[in-house]
């Protein structure tokens, strides 16, 4: 079983921010929070990861709560091409990457 829980699906209007939540209440102190996405049956694509601090890159922002029990992935200006399944994963060194079912994000015009 995945160590994280995510809503099965979400919708977002094109151009608006998409906020994808993830619960990881049993995360241990040395485990990172990773986000990947998968478009159709293509190979998953890395988005971002973090340990304690919030992180931002050219694709997204990752907000991790102070107690590290949950996080939110933010796509600041969602486009139709962001429609995908988004996976939140808690792992230390890639040897227990449990992708789970993820959140199916649909960006609508």
Q: Which residues bind other proteins (CB under 8 A)?
A: 2, 32, 36, 41-46, 49, 87, 91-102
Please tell me the distance from the alpha carbon of residue 15 to that of residue 109, in angstroms, as a whole number: 9
Report, in angstroms and rounded to the nearest whole number, the Rg of the chain calculated over CA atoms.
Answer: 13
Q: Which is nearer to other proteins, 32 or 63 (CB)?
A: 32
Q: Which is nearer to other proteins, 43 or 109 (CB)?
A: 43
Q: Which is nearer to other proteins, 29 or 109 (CB)?
A: 29
Smallest gap from Cβ 70 to other proteins, in A, equals 20
């Amino acid at each position: 079983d995945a160590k994280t829980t995510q809503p099965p699906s979400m919708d977002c209007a094109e151009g608006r921010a998409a906020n994808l939540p993830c619960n990881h209440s049993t995360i241990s102190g040395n485990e990172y929070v990773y986000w990947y996405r998968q478009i159709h049956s293509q190979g998953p694509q890395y988005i971002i990861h973090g340990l304690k601090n919030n992180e931002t890159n050219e694709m997204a922002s990752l907000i991790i709560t102070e107690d590290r029990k949950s996080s939110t992935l933010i796509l600041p200006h969602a486009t139709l091409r962001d429609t995908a399944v988004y996976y939140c994963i808690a792992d230390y060194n890639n040897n227990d990457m449990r992708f789970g079912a993820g959140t199916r994000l649909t960006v609508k015009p």
